Amino acid sequence: MIELLKGFPDNVVALACHGHVSREDYDKVLVPAVDKALQSNDKVRLLYEIGGDFEGYDVGAAWEDFKVGMEHFSRWERIAVITDIEWIKHSMQLFSFVMPGTARVYPTTEAAKARLWITQAA
């Protein structure tokens, strides 16, 4: 499940991910939030909190994740991932050089630091 987090500037798409994430979660929550942010901003930022109860993505969700990233490749300014899940931290570190914008991974104990970084002026 993906839920939209409130209280962020309109250039920040802030999401929390719990349990199993499906393509429907992307279609109903993530994609509309990204599209809305892109309507009024040249560049957008993504805050993605992945809880300890995360169970994984289905194949459709993984494909949508890739599509959303590639469709707007040059428009991502910052990406902050908050997680304690080791394989996600390692994947982000391994692939951050091909990700658009600046990407950082934060442990859940530094969630406030991630939120500050994602909202700070460039």
Q: Tell me the domain boundaries of the chain.
A: 2-119
Per-residue pLDDT in tens (0 to 9) along the chain, 122 residues: 999 999 999 999 999 999 988 888 888 998 899 889 999 999 999 999 998 898 877 765 554 565 555 565 568 899 899 999 888 888 777 766 666 678 899 999 999 999 999 999 87
Q: Supply the pTM of this predicted model.
A: 0.85
Residue 56 to residue 41: CA distance in whole angstroms: 30
Q: Kindly state the helix (H) or strand (E) to which residue 13 belongs, with its residue range.
A: strand 12-17
Helix, strand, or coil (residue 85): coil
Cβ-count burial 19-58 (b if 16+ within 10 Å, e if not): eebbbebbeebbbebbeebbeebebbbbbbbbbeebeebe
- Indicate the CATH number for domain 2-119: 3.30.750.24
